[in-house]
Each structure stands twice: as structure tokens, then as C-alpha cells.
Structure 1
Amino acid sequence: MKEIDHHSAAAQGSKQRFAGYRDPLAWAILLASLGGSAWAEQDAATTAQTPADAQSGPVLKAVTVTATRREESLQKIPVAVSVVDGEQLERDNRNNVSSIVQQVPTLNFRTSASNKDTTLFIRGVGTISTSPGIEPTVATVIDGVVFGRAGQSTLDLLDLERIEVLRGPQGTLFGKNASAGVLNVVTRAAPEEFRGYLDYSHFGNGNENRYRFGVGGRLTDTLKGSVSGLLGKYDGNVKNVKNGDDVNGYDRTGVRGRLEFEPNTDIKLTLIGDYARSDDDIPNGVVVSTRSAAFANALKPVSPSSHNQHIQSDYKSRTEDTSAGISGQLDWQLGNYTLTSITAWRRWLNHQYQDGDRLAALPLTASHDNGKVNYNQYTQEIRLASPKGEFLEYVLGVYYMHGHTGETYRRLSVNDGIANDGQANYSVTSNSFALFGENTFNFTDDFRGIVGLRWTRDGLGYKHRRVSTSPVAVTGIQPSTSSHGSVDEEDWSGRFGLQYDFTDNLMGYATYSRGYKGPAYNVFFNMQPRDTEHLKPETSDAYEIGLKTSALNNRLIANLAVFHTDYDNYQANFYDSVAGQVVTRLVNAGKVYTKGVELDTSLQLTPQLKLSGALAYTEARIDSFKCPAGAASNCNVNGKPLPFSPDWKTYVRADYSIPLDNGLDVELTTDYSWQDEVQFTLDQNPDTKQGAYGIWNASVALADYNRGWRVSFLGKNLNDKSYATAMAAGSNYIYRFVPRDDERYFGVQAHLDF
């Protein structure tokens, strides 16, 4: 029988056991002293093969990151960073941003029927909104290009080198929409010599098939390039009993090309182009419970339950999504200085169809939505990096972004056989200009000071017009209206700190950071006069102390971070009732805070065995909530948890290889992730909680790296846990979103290098 964790006794028992941890900092320091090592190192770790290393034993290879806008060792920078290796993600069948949240305990993700409404959270903080008039709190940066809308970054990634998760405010170097953190994605450089690869995988429970391929190499003495592509199709693991179709799947294609031109040793020009298209049929929620006998009867033969994987729908919820872009990066060595210019254009088209009533009730009742998004952004960044090793090391820069969103949203509402139609056309234009710089003062070889500042000026404007066939409000549709508005704001963000090398293998730092996220408008289909005022900018004050250490001749690495961040004018969605439907209303929610401890660990125990783990305790709470006028939800939420933020979350992993005499290798991998109870809604609805649960994965592979092939067998969710990645309330029911690994499944993967 499937083991269910939603509101289960086992889940509550786990929570009670962890409730005894009264001092998470003490536990984290104890674990560090026992010998963890930076899990961020683990995925990219390799066993050294040089004679010197052979005498001292296997070591972990140092990881280089760009978290400070220049390449530096992860263990040397005063920033809390988790690094996930791209090749390991591909081997684990983790193909996009949302799939890495199990491996990075401080990272969480809100899924939805449309990727337009998805959100990333770091340290418990993220922005939940469907409005194009607000920015994400967690910035997504791919190859130096900041993505203006959160939904742009949810498609599959190609030629991934690594993902850096920068935890805490990063507004000084990465911009105003990085007040909770940054997801910094780095793709692979073109290879020096001609090479290529083919990769195929097949997984059960939904007939998932994926193909990846790529080729690249040097074209001339000064030019090299690469091109890669993917094809993926998954039928899904949810059944629509209305027509027998499988849903909750996808059909995706993508291509990525890269050219690197180096006319001399001082100049490098990198051109990157990418195109991705996806057709996802994620249902608009799967009903798990209802208090309405009429609704339960209309839902039959579907039976609501915490592990329900069936819907009854007459309108297929799906999203057609296209993301494309071109960027050019110039790196010019001016003596010992480096001048970098990144120019980019991106376009994002999103077309969503949603069954708002989640029933097959035509012709008597229905609520069907059809929305289109057309987003374009242009960005320009110029940076100057000083030489390393001087008393003053700095990065100075200027940044500009222009973004424009045009949306059309249409809703058909049928009640008692009477149809009403509403359509809204709205647009948002944003312009942001910034000057920034961060300086490191090398007072001695061991002692450094950090000073960084960023000045940002934002301009934001919107236009909105809705036309309805009804002169009065009907279910789901407000009467006709139009409005427009604009706002200009400017503010400072920055970082100040001290860094000290206690020994060659132990570094500590203490920093204060001020985050800033610009003004916002709540622009959506049912926008009303009360929504025409702009939201104030969101600011944050963050304090962090960190230790980074290595031991046992670099076989063991441990990183520890302790943090506390206060947010003012927190921009959040709060549940409200508009025209008889539950909606999320964007407000300045008041003051919230997040504090906690993070420990990343990794150990190269033997040449064949690597152990790794990560632990995060995050207390993300509402400090002082500002209840919006006319709110239809509970406002007594002070002291309650922020959505999508479990208190405890952990990840452990073991990788073991067995070399055979005939040149073959057997590779065994297992990992387990566990998270505490999580509340999914700001109004603290007791029915939108997911109980604590854990997921166990494992794989076995046979490889011949001399001949360039690898075949693996993977098992996902081996303990067969059913859980929700998000939950929300309808008018008289609760629904969840079903993850890919909602039940146990298996697959095979074959990879060939040539």
C-alpha cells in the first residue's frame, strides 16, 4: 500500500522529534566539528590522480564560482553558496530549476498550472504573484543575463556546467530583484577539441522519454563553438476521468548554440543563442478534500484524498511556452584589468488555458480562462574588475534593463446555463538603471574588509482595460473598467563586512547586507480601483556569520552559515474574494523575518566513496502583518510561518564506484531528502499544510569511460511517498499539485560520448 504523508501521524511524529532542537546553532557547530564538508563541493568533486595526491590520499577538487562577479574559489569567498554540478543533475534526471530543490535545503519552489505563476524561495522568502507588475525576490541569472520574469527560467536547461545558489541578499552585484538570493546558472564552454554526445532516457509511470545531443569543438585558430538540443515527452501521472486522457505531463524541445571568438590573448567574445518550447498539461489543481456535498457529487467518480491522482475536467488546463534569447559577452584584458560587457535580448511567450472550476459541469456551470503573455527585455551591463592581489580589489559596473509585458486574459463564466464573458488587456513597462561597486580591502594577507554599494533608479508604469458582457459583477468577472499609473523610485543597497583567515584551511566572515526590491503594481484580470495604487519598495537588512574550512588534506570540507534578515514592506499575495472567486491579492504585507543555520558537508572517504550532506534550519516568520482593507481571509497571522518554508530540511548522499579489471566501472548512488511540515498559504489555512516527508532515490550504472559510454538504472521515490508541491483553497475545496515523483518509478539512461 502507498504510504501517505499529508497530515499523517508519522509526519506529526517527525515534527515532534525535531521540536526538541532548541539550539540549532549549537547542533550545526557540533556537526561541523564532527567533520562534514561543503556539499556544494560534492557534485563537482573528483578524485585527484597525481602522484603527490596518491601519497596523501584522495582529495576534493576545488570548485570555482562566479558569485562575486569574478572567478574565485568557493572556499575563499565570503558568501554562502551551494553549487550543484550540471553533469550530476543530468545523470539524476533533474532537468530544470524546479528539480534541484531536494538537493539544496535552503531552496524551495512553488509550482502552478502555468509556469507564469511559479516562484523560487531562498531562506523562506519569495514573491508569489501572477502580476507582471512585480519582480521576483530571487533573481535567476543565466550566463550573466538577469531574467526579469520568474516564469522564463522554468524550462529545461541545456549544456549545464553548474548551478550556484547564492543565499541571502545579493543586491550589490546582482541587482534589485535579488533581495532573497540568486540562482546563478553557468553553461558549458565550447570544447577545445571536436567532441559530441548522445543521451537517451526512459522512465515509467507516465512513459517519459528524453533525448539530448550535442557537438562542438574548434572551428579555426580563433573560433570554437558548440550546439546542443533536447527532445522530451512525458504523458503524465494524473488521469482525467472525463475523457480518459493522461495529464500532468509535457512535450518539450530546445536548442542552444555558442560561439567563442578569441582574435588575440586579450579579447574574447562569446555569443549565445537559445530557443526552447514547451507544451505542458499540468491540471489546475487536483482536489484533495471538500466540505461541499454538491461539489463532491459533481466531482464523481473522482474521490478526493491526499493522494488523489484523478481529475474531472471538460477543459484541458495546459500551457504553451516559448523562451528565446541572444546574448553577447565581451571580455577585454586591459593590462591587469578586465572589462566585461554583456548585451542581451530575451523574449518570452506564454499561453495558458485553465479550468477554473475544476469540474466537467457544462452546460450549467463553468469557469474557463485563456491568457496570453508577450514579454520582451533588453539588458546591458558593463563591469570593470581590478587586478587580484592588490591592496584594493574591486568590481565596478553600470546596469540597464528595459522590460515590456503585454497580456490578454479572457474568462468565460457560466452559471445556471447563463454565459458571461470578460476580457482584460493590460501592459507593464519597466526601466531600471543602476551604478554599483564592491571593494575588498586587503589589510593583511589574512584580514580583509568588504564595502559594496548599489544605487538603483526604477521607473514602472501600467495600463489596464477590462470589458465584460455583464454591467454588474458575476462569478469570476468584475464589470468593465480601465486605469493606468506610473511610479519612479530610487534607493541604495549594499554589503559591508570583514573576512579573516584563521589558518590556511579555516576562513571566517561577518557581513551586513541591505536589500532593495523596487515598487510594484497588482495588475491582473480582475483588477479594481483599490489595486491602482503602487506597492512600496521592499527593503531588507541581513546579518550573516560564516565559516569555511577544510581538513584531512582537503578530503573533508565543511561550510557553516548563520543568518538573520528583516524585511520591511514585504510584497506578498494574500487570499481574497473577488466576484465570488478566491484570488490572490498583492499587498505590502508588513514586516517579516527569516533566521537560521545552514551546514554543507562533503567527505572523500576513499578513492571510490564520497559522502555528502546539507542541513538547513530556517525560521521564516511573519513579524507584523498589515491586514488589507476588506480582506476575506484570516489576518491573525503574526508569528506564523511564511509560505513554502519548512523549518528543517536536509539532504544526504553517497556515491561509490567499483573499478573492474576489464576497464569497466560499476557506480552506485543513493540519496535521501527530508523536510519538515510546510504551510503553503499566507492566511495559515490549516488544510493547506503538507506534513513532513522524505524521498529516497538510488541508481546503479555500468560505464566504460575509455570507450565513452555509460548505462544506468534509476529508482525514484523508492519509499513510495505521496506528497504535494503546493496546495491552495478553492471556494469550497482544497487542491494540490502533483509532483513527478508522487509515487515510486524506475527508468534507464544510456549515454555515449564520441
Structure 2
Amino acid sequence: MFLGFRKRRTPGGTFALRVAAPLGIGLGAMIVGTMPARSADETANQDVENVVVTATKRNESLQKVPLAVSVVDGEQAAQENLNNLNDISSIVPSLNFRNGASNKDQGLFIRGMGTVTTSPGAEPSVSTVIDGVALDRPGQATLDLLDVERIEVLRGPQGTLFGKNASAGVVNIVTQQPTEEAHGYGDVSYFGGGDEFRAKAGVSGALVPGKAKGLLSVLSSDYGGNVTNVYNGDKVNGYDHNGARTKIELTPSDTFRVLFAADYLHSRETIPSGVISSTNITYPGGVTTANPAFANLISPVQASAGNTNINTNTNTHADDDNGGVSAQLDWSIGNHTLTSISAYRKWKNGQLQDFDRTSSSLNKQIVDHGELDFDQISQELRLASPTGQFLEYVTGLYYLHTVDDEVYSRTDTATSGTVNNGTARYGTRGDNYSAFGEATFNFTDDFRGIAGARVIRDELSYYHGRVSTAADTGISASSPYATGNTSDLGYADRVGLQYDLTRKATTYVTYSHGYKGPAYNVFFNMVPSTQGAALKAETSNSYEIGLKTKTLEDRLLFNAALFHTTFDNYQANFPNLVNGAVVTNLINAGQVSSRGFEADFTAKPCKQLTFTGNLAATDARIDHTLVTPKNWPINGEPLPFTPKWKTNLRADYRIPVNEDYAITLGTNYRWQSKVQYDLSESPDTIQKAYGIWDADISLNNLASSWRITLLAKNVLDKTYSSYLQSSGATSTSGTAGYVYRWVPRDAERYFGINLRKDF
């Protein structure tokens, strides 16, 4: 890790100095620096400085924003082989990730709240925003992060400024901007544990000095994987990614700026549909049902908590094309700024999955194939007042139009050779209209009030039809073509007070109301006649008290927050059996709540040594629901994907060698308590508590702007699962099931090297 400075050109044309401290996450920030060409002695400051964020749609000091925000430096994260939001969630205590065999099946959770569904008729509770453009589907944002400047994680409802699908929080991704001065870089990495190779390069500079500048970045990466398919000897659980991003910024005058951006990423993921971790199912009453027949079917694979082998005859994989274009226009009108962001995004996803997870002819073979085609068009228009006056505000209008078309097929081949199949064609159309605004009232220099609201109009429709040869395992009977539509008028709001105790310490208290619109559970086995009713809108009420402070002559930064959030009509997936196969249904699960405490610190006892740490204590529980399948009571039980305790600690020691060279020694330890992965509260889908220790050493040549880093990941070789799922069982005395796991990248120890050169 390095403490450093980055010169950044602001939209108005002046240069600002961004100061970043080493890794530190929590309420205040995870702040890490970059490596400009400065001497080793010059970069060794003893102050812990702030970063600028856009969490309030303005450039504002992180320490002054009355929100719980974490900030991850994109370049530093990539250096540590943290390349997507799944990786980032491992080091941000309040952010958690739901894995899956395709990014279509993945999702984010903040403070225990998130939406798990593959239905195109439902939005996530955690909104992902890239350069001001909100992504409607969670799968659009779970691939490689290319040329990212920073990632801001905003916790709690953020609907007033970021939209309706932010009832639990926002992940705001800000990518690098074009520079006036010519700049380029090359970055290559190699990591063991599956032969992972990553290469990035970029150039930026003036096209017409003072009037136009551009940026182009490219990415290519390949990873063989850390799971072996004994059926054919292939390595799986890997990927192949290739992408590019370009931006052109025009400044025809001092009062007008245009930024055109385009990005594209093609990906193939070979994530298996599940690695068998147990052939037993344990029931809440303590009864364990064994499944020795299935254990024989997957032989020679031995089911265990650390198993990294599969035995399947279908090469499960997903192909993904994800990209878009946008145009941001900024006008200075007197002391006000008018901003327009127009965007179009395209997402295509195809997946092939081995549903039965075996290769034996003695077992029914079930293969799934899905194709997704998704488009979204959005337009945001907002007006920002000048700062430094009694009333400061941001207000605007927003429109989003989405079109989703999908085809999903399942083929069942019995041991007798009989083949049954079903094919469903379905999709959704959505429109969102909203008006929003948030204001700050500066009653005094030290005392402020905050008030904001968003009024939202949702319109959503679906179509669905399925043709099946016969009802079979995981296949419902044919369903005629059907349609449905719904609409809703909702709102989000936020009010609060902020008081500066001193020049470097501020406190705040806020109340927020969040809203996520109505939904349809549109999926392969949908039966519109019984499942075609729209789900009610999900709403939340959140209270938060926070403290942000720096002390000991700016050598210690300490931030903390207490929060309590209640969700009504919580939209969640619940497992159900269809002809003996587990499927999930999106339902209004009832009322849930989350309460807890978050804290972080960054300390520099001397110029060379930096300590950072953060903690999230989250009690997220199901308060009330009528859903009790198989007589499994879930009231009072924890929400999935949310450990009660999660922490991250880091130390960095910087050793100046001479005027040009410096060595940095870094070590990081993250730990979390046990976590439940299934809303049905199965005892088999609990990941026990675990801790991961990483270490790195870097040699930095500041004069020539190059760096070499050696990394050791999961030094103690601790095995864990990033997701566990039960195949289910019909009863305690009936058909037995099994449990399968998702194997994370760092499920075992591996080493790597990163080389970077700036020019």
C-alpha cells in the first residue's frame, strides 16, 4: 500500500489535489493511494487525509458527508487482485455478495438487505451506478472493473438522489477521467492457484489542447480455475475477459463541458452449477438424512466442506456481453450547474448448466440453457445550486425505460432414455418516472439541516408462455401465453441534522424512507394463472446516528455509526419443490429489520507506519412472515448473506531506500462470524466463521514510475465457501438431498506478482 497524491482535473477546469491514505474501510472510507513520480521522503506524510466523493451528487469531502460511506481505490484494489464487486465485498464489512453459476444469478447486500432473484420483473435493493448511470439489473455490474478510480459504497436508503432501486444502499462506481497531460500505463499480473493472467493498458491526453481530451483503456484476463472436473480432467471455475473503455471530453467554453463515454466487456465464466460439499441433509429437529446413492453417482469425487472436484458431463458456462454509451453535459448557468446524463446500455447473457450435477447414466440428466437480451435507456436532468450559502440544493428529473426478453429451456433425460423438455419465453417492459431533490440548510457555520424527497411513478408489464412435452423433474406442465401489468406511485425521503463539534469532527442524525417498486416473479416454471399477481412495493424506514472525526494532530481518523432499518413487504426468493426439484419463488416475505454498529479507523503513529481497521456488527433478522414451508419456522432467524460480525485490519510499513526507491510491507487480516446463506434457514447452508490473512511487498521506483508487487493470498490456507445451497428433500423420511458450494478465488493459498509502469 502507498500513501500518495493524484492530480485530478475538476469539471470546471481547475486542478485539485486528491490525497489518499492506505487501505481502510468502514463507515468513513477505505482509502488507498497511487504512485506518482515523487521522492520517497516527499510521499511519507504523517497526516491522515480525506478524499473527495460524489455521494451527494457533488464533489464533497468524505469527512463532511452526513452519510455512511466507504471508498475503495480502484487501482489499489486491482493491484491486490480484487477485480469485481464480489472481491470488493470481502473487504467492506457492510457489503456482502450472493454468488451463482452466472452473473445473472448474483447480487449485492448492504447491512443485510438485498434482493436475490433471476426474475427480470424485480429490481435489486442495492443500486449499482457507473459514472452516473444507474443499472437496472444486478447482473450488469458483477463482471470485471475496468480502469476504476474509486468505488463508493453508500449504506442505507439512498432513494432521494439515486433512485427507486436504492432502498438498501448504493454502490457508486467512478471510472478514470481523461487528462490534459499525456499519460499512459501498462499493468500485468500473474497469480498461481489456477494460472491467472491479467493485462491492462491505457492512454490519456489532449486531442485539442484546452478543448478536447480523450482516454482509451483495454483489459484482457484469463483464469483456468480452481475446480477440477474429474469426468474430463478440465479445470473450471475460471474465466476469460476482454474489454475496453473510452472517453472523450470536450470543453468548448469555460461554462460548457461534454463527456462522451463507451465501454464493452465480453466474458466467459466456467463457474460450475455447484460443488458437492455434503450428501446429507440435516433437519431443524436434529434428524439427518443421508444420501449414499448420490455419493456413489458422483464417485470418485468425495463430498466435503473443502471439496474442489466435480463429476459432470455438461460443461457449465456463461457467456456475457455487457456495454453501453453515455453523454454527460454540464452547463454553468450563473452560479448554478445544469447536468444532463443520457445513456443506453445493452446486456446479453447465455448460460448452459448441468442441473443434476452428475455424469452417470444411472442418474437422470438435466441440462438448462438460458438466453437473456436486455436493454435500458435512461435520462437524468439535474440542477445544482452554488455552495457556501444558506440554502444549497440538488434537484432534477429522471426517466428509465427497460426491455427484457428471455428464453429458458430444461431437458430431462431419464435413465431409460426418455427425454422430456420445456421451453419458456418470457420478458418484461418497465418505465420509471421521477422527480427528486435534496437540500441543505446552513443555519450556522456549524449547524445544518438536510431534507430531500423523490416522487416515483412505476409502470411494469410482463409476458410469459411455456411449452413442455410433459411435467417432469423441475419442469411444470405447458402454460399458455399470458400477460400482466401493474403501476404504482411511491416516494422516498430523507431528513436530518448535522452539527460540527469542532473543525475536524462532525455528527449527524438522519431518517430515511426507501422505496423499491412492485415486481413480477417471471421465471421458467411460472404459472401465470396462480403466480401472475404483482408483488407489492418494498419500502424501508431507516434511522442513523454518525460521528466522523480526526484527532491527534490529524494522525488518527475515527468514524462510527449506529443504524436501525425496517423493511416492509420484503421481496425475497424462497425455495420450493417442483416435481422433486428445488426452484425459488420471489415473494413478499414479510417484515425484516437490520440494526447495528459500524466503525473504522486509520492511524499513522509515524511517517512510515499506517494502521487501518474497520468493523461491522449487523443484526439483520426476519421479524414477521407467514412463510413456513416444511414446518420450518423462520421468524426471528437471521437474514441470509449477513454475518453478525465482520472486520478487516491492515498494517503497512514503508521503508524509503533512497531518493528514488521505497519498499512497502503490507499485511491484511479479515474475519467474519458464521453466515446463513438460505432464507429457509437450513442448518446445512451455514458457513462457519473464518479468517483470511494476506500479505504483500512492493518495490516502487518513484523516479521512473514503475512498481513491482509480490502477493500472498490466504497465507494460512483456510478453506471456506462463498455460497452454500441445499438441493432440498421432500420430507424427513422421503427423498434425500445434498448440499453444494461455490468455491471462491482464494479458497486456498496462492501467490502472485504485479508489475506496473506509468509513462
TM-score of the alignment, normalized to the shorter chain, above 0.5: yes
Q: Are 2:27 and 2:69, in contact at CA under 8 Å, matched by a contact in 1? A: no
Alpha carbons of structure 1 residues 55 and 115: separation in structure 2 relative to 1, 3 Å: closer
Q: Mind listing any 5+ residue stretches in structure 1 that lack a counterpart? A: 1-35
Q: Are 1:364 and 1:418, in contact at CA under 8 Å, matched by a contact in 2? A: no
Pair 1:348-2:337 in alignment: no
Structure 2 distance, partners of 1:702, 1:47, is 11
Amino acid paired to 1:275: Y
Deviation at 1:365, TM superposition (A): 1.5
Alpha carbons of structure 1 residues 751 and 641: separation in structure 2 relative to 1, 3 Å: same
Bigger Cα displacement from structure 2, 235-244 vs 89-98: 89-98
Amino acid paired to 1:725: S
The residue aligned with 1:538 is 538
Structure 2 distance, partners of 1:50, 1:272, is 31
Structure 2 distance, partners of 1:327, 1:298, is 51
Deviation at 1:553, TM superposition (A): 2.4
**Which secondary structure state, in structure 2, belongs to the residue aligned with residue 294 of structure 1?**
helix
Pair 1:741-2:746 in alignment: yes
Q: Are 1:588 and 1:626, in contact at CA under 8 Å, matched by a contact in 2? A: no
Write the deviation string for residues 708-727 of structure 1: whole angstroms up to 9, x where unpaired.
Answer: 21111100000111000000
The residue aligned with 1:255 is 244
Pair 1:236-2:236 in alignment: no
Which runs of structure 2 are paired with 1:112-127 in the superposition (5 Å)? 112-127=100-115
The residue aligned with 1:730 is 727
The residue aligned with 2:692 is 695
Deviation at 1:552, TM superposition (A): 2.1
Structure 1 distance, partners of 2:44, 2:194, is 48
Amino acid paired to 1:626: L
Structure 1 distance, partners of 2:683, 2:43, is 58
The residue aligned with 2:402 is 403
Alpha carbons of structure 1 residues 664 and 521: separation in structure 2 relative to 1, 3 Å: same
The residue aligned with 2:254 is 265
Write the deviation string for residues 119-174 of structure 1: whole angstroms up to 9, x where unpaired.
Answer: 10000111011111100000000000000000000111111110000000001100
Alpha carbons of structure 1 residues 281 and 202: separation in structure 2 relative to 1, 3 Å: same
Which runs of structure 2 are paired with 1:326-475 in the superposition (5 Å)? 326-362=325-361, 365-416=364-415, 417-470=417-470, 473-475=471-473
Deviation at 1:654, TM superposition (A): 1.3
Q: Are 2:426 and 2:522, in contact at CA under 8 Å, matched by a contact in 1? A: yes
Q: Are 1:621 and 1:641, in contact at CA under 8 Å, matched by a contact in 2? A: yes
Pair 1:554-2:573 in alignment: no
Q: Which 4+ residue blocks in structure 1 deviate beyond 3 angstroms?
A: 36-42, 44-51, 53-57, 631-635
Structure 2 distance, partners of 1:323, 1:273, is 11
Deviation at 1:55, TM superposition (A): 14
Structure 2 distance, partners of 1:368, 1:56, is 58
Write the deviation string for residues 669-725 of structure 1: whole angstroms up to 9, x where unpaired.
Answer: 111100000000011100100000000001111121211211111000001110000
Structure 1 distance, partners of 2:128, 2:382, is 19
Which runs of structure 2 are paired with 1:189-204 in the superposition (5 Å)? 189-204=177-192
The residue aligned with 2:152 is 164
Structure 1 distance, partners of 2:652, 2:43, is 22
Structure 2 distance, partners of 1:49, 1:522, is 54
Structure 2 distance, partners of 1:714, 1:594, is 36
The residue aligned with 1:583 is 583
Q: Are 2:27 and 2:70, in contact at CA under 8 Å, matched by a contact in 1? A: yes
Which runs of structure 2 are paired with 1:557-568 in the superposition (5 Å)? 557-568=557-568
Write the deviation string for residues 266-324 of structure 1: whole angstroms up to 9, x where unpaired.
Answer: 11111110000000000001001112111111110000000000001001110000001
Pair 1:277-2:282 in alignment: no
The residue aligned with 1:12 is none
Deviation at 1:48, TM superposition (A): 13
Deviation at 1:661, TM superposition (A): 2.3
**Which secondary structure state, in structure 2, belongs to the residue aligned with residue 645 of structure 1?**
coil
Alpha carbons of structure 1 residues 744 and 49: separation in structure 2 relative to 1, 3 Å: closer
Structure 2 distance, partners of 1:129, 1:368, is 20
**Which secondary structure state, in structure 2, belongs to the residue aligned with residue 173 of structure 1?**
helix
Structure 1 distance, partners of 2:671, 2:88, is 14
Q: Are 1:576 and 1:585, in contact at CA under 8 Å, matched by a contact in 2? A: yes
Q: Are 1:346 and 1:376, in contact at CA under 8 Å, matched by a contact in 2? A: yes
Q: Are 1:576 and 1:583, in contact at CA under 8 Å, matched by a contact in 2? A: yes
Amino acid paired to 1:368: V
Structure 2 distance, partners of 1:47, 1:296, is 53
Selected match of 1:711 from 708, 732, 737: 708
Q: Are 1:134 and 1:522, in contact at CA under 8 Å, matched by a contact in 2? A: yes
Q: Are 2:467 and 2:477, in contact at CA under 8 Å, matched by a contact in 1? A: yes
The residue aligned with 1:502 is 501
Deviation at 1:189, TM superposition (A): 1.0
Pair 1:142-2:140 in alignment: no
Alpha carbons of structure 1 residues 729 and 42: separation in structure 2 relative to 1, 3 Å: closer
Deviation at 1:362, TM superposition (A): 3.8
Q: Are 2:44 and 2:608, in contact at CA under 8 Å, matched by a contact in 1? A: no
Write the deviation string for residues 409-442 of structure 1: whole angstroms up to 9, x where unpaired.
Answer: 0110122321101100001001000000001111
Amino acid paired to 1:268: R
Aligned residue pairs: how many?
713
Bigger Cα displacement from structure 2, 98-107 vs 56-65: 56-65
The residue aligned with 1:95 is 83
Amino acid paired to 1:518: G
Pair 1:645-2:642 in alignment: yes
Structure 1 distance, partners of 2:95, 2:749, is 23
Pair 1:130-2:118 in alignment: yes
Structure 2 distance, partners of 1:361, 1:421, is 19
Deviation at 1:753, TM superposition (A): 1.1
Alpha carbons of structure 1 residues 60 and 38: separation in structure 2 relative to 1, 3 Å: farther
Relative to the length of structure 2, the TM-score reads 0.92
Deviation at 1:103, TM superposition (A): 1.3
Structure 2 distance, partners of 1:442, 1:647, is 37
The residue aligned with 1:17 is none
Write the deviation string for residues 329-378 of structure 1: whole angstroms up to 9, x where unpaired.
Answer: 01111111010100000000000101000000348511100000000000
**Which secondary structure state, in structure 2, belongs to the residue aligned with residue 741 of structure 1?**
coil
Amino acid paired to 2:242: T
Alpha carbons of structure 1 residues 711 and 79: separation in structure 2 relative to 1, 3 Å: same
Structure 2 distance, partners of 1:456, 1:525, is 30
Alpha carbons of structure 1 residues 38 and 538: separation in structure 2 relative to 1, 3 Å: closer
Selected match of 1:173 from 161, 164, 182: 161
**Which secondary structure state, in structure 2, belongs to the residue aligned with residue 151 of structure 1?**
helix
Amino acid paired to 1:186: V
Structure 1 distance, partners of 2:231, 2:546, is 55
Root mean square deviation, CA, Å: 1.9
The residue aligned with 2:173 is 185
Structure 1 distance, partners of 2:371, 2:53, is 37
Alpha carbons of structure 1 residues 724 and 54: separation in structure 2 relative to 1, 3 Å: closer
Alpha carbons of structure 1 residues 571 and 620: separation in structure 2 relative to 1, 3 Å: same
Q: Mind listing any 5+ residue stretches in structure 2 that lack a counterpart? A: 1-23, 280-289, 729-736
The residue aligned with 2:282 is none
The residue aligned with 1:479 is 477
Amino acid paired to 1:748: I
Bigger Cα displacement from structure 2, 56-65 vs 343-352: 56-65
Q: Are 1:46 and 1:60, in contact at CA under 8 Å, matched by a contact in 2? A: no
Structure 2 distance, partners of 1:50, 1:309, is 46
Deviation at 1:579, TM superposition (A): 2.3
Deviation at 1:476, TM superposition (A): 1.3
Structure 1 distance, partners of 2:76, 2:414, is 51
Structure 2 distance, partners of 1:181, 1:656, is 34
Structure 1 distance, partners of 2:122, 2:230, is 37
The residue aligned with 1:321 is 320
**Which secondary structure state, in structure 1, belongs to the residue aligned with residue 683 of structure 2?**
coil
Deviation at 1:606, TM superposition (A): 2.0
Structure 2 distance, partners of 1:616, 1:253, is 35
The residue aligned with 2:732 is none
Write the deviation string for residues 613-648 of structure 1: whole angstroms up to 9, x where unpaired.
Answer: 110000000000122xxx744441111000001000
Bigger Cα displacement from structure 2, 661-670 vs 706-715: 661-670
Amino acid paired to 2:516: K
Deviation at 1:540, TM superposition (A): 0.5
